A = this chain, B = another copy of it.
Amino acid sequence: MTSITITDVAALAGVSIKTVSRVLNSEPNVRDGTRERVLSAVNKLNYKPNLAARALAGSRSYLIGLYYDNPSPGYIADLQRGAMSACRKAGYHLLVEQIDGEKERWRPRVESLLDQVKVDGVILAQPVCDRGAVLDVLEERNAPFVRIAPAGDWDRGPYVYMNDRQAAYDMTDHLLSLGHRRIGFIRGHPEHSATQQRYLGFAQAMAAADQSPDPALVQWGSFTFRSGVGAAERLLNRPVKPTAIFASNDDMALGVMAVANRMQLNVPRDLSVAGFDDSPIAQVVWPQLTSIRIPVAEMAEAAANILIHKRLQQQAPAARLLDFELMLRGSVGPASLA
């Protein structure tokens, strides 16, 4: 049951273990014939290099860490799917670590991944990527990391991101193009990075269409269903109702739809509703929610790839922009002529 080693392969191929190593690591200076002989031996024996030995002798661990805090489960799942996909293709493996924001308990865990496991790089997801102390630890150790959609400190390491402002702008533009003028907007949690960007996009699109902003049509929320309900009630109990409501995320948009239902307002006939995130629920409710798809998995995949191929490129890209997508569904229709 003892596993086969590089020595076995070398013996079978009639070369030294170093040559096998060269073939396996795609190093230069190996004759084609030799390479083929080695590869065939590798296949014949179904040889797989030992990760620990590689890590100990070389400089790579073939492990990538993913730090996340406590965002929505769907977000984590997408993130992992993307990161895993990149890892899979490169023979890497993914290590996950939850960073509890509150306590300082995260520190030993982060340090452990760096000092003990010696991961080749770290992907920092949403809230963690903005925690200065975490970045400090990483920079201090000179550990490669990529941040996903950071909220600020854009000069601290490479990052991948999506243009939230532009997405909100485009969605607002879409509503305007359907004739909507009284468009309600529900902002997200004030401490969340995306909140301001999404509002900005909305405001800019409105301004570009010469719509004077009605402050009463902009309500605060906190990204929860409940807060969406509250904001929707404030918006829909006004003497002149908006014909469309654009919520900063899907949960709040669902809250809006619930209120509309309760008030006997037909969506989209009496009220158009748009969300942001394109969460799974968006397609479950009826009518299906028009929303904006965030390329979460793609961002994670890009982040992982930056880390994996870091050694190849002399200059790592500072930032990588990925495209959002407007998911137009039944919850948005033309403005009613009321």
Contact = CB atoms under 8 A, between A and B. Distances in A.
Contacts of A131: none
A56 B48 contact: no
A76 interface: yes
Contact of A61 (B52, B226, B280, B286): B52
Given A56-B56, A84-B96, 8 more contacts: A1-B142, A48-B111, A48-B112, A50-B118, A73-B77, A80-B98, A81-B98, A281-B281
Contacts of A95: 63, 93-96
A187 to B, nearest CB: 20
Interface string A177-207: 0000000000000000000000000000000
Contact of A76 (B76, B91, B118): B76
For this chain, the copies found in one complex come to 2
21 contacts: A50-B56, A50-B116, A51-B116, A52-B54, A52-B55, A52-B118, A63-B95, A72-B73, A73-B73, A73-B77, A73-B78, A73-B280, A77-B77, A80-B98, A81-B98, A88-B109, A93-B113, A94-B97, A95-B96, A224-B284, A226-B284
A324 interface: no
Contacts of A74: 73-74
Nearest to A281: B281
A225 interface: yes
Nearest to A58: B52
B93 A117 contact: yes
Interface of A: 1, 3, 48-56, 61, 63, 72-74, 76-78, 80-81, 84, 88, 91, 93-98, 109, 111-113, 115-118, 142, 224-226, 258, 261, 280-281, 284, 286
Given A80-B98, A84-B97, A109-B88, A225 B52 contact: no
Greatest chain B CB density within 10 A among A49, A52, A73, A97 is at A52
A109 B93 CA distance: 9
Interface centre among A55, A73, A113, A281 (most CB of B within 10 A): A73
A225 B84 CA distance: 29
A87 to B, nearest CB: 9
A88 B111 CA distance: 13
Contacts of A258: 286
A247 to B, nearest CB: 15
Contacts of A111: 48
A67 B77 CA distance: 13
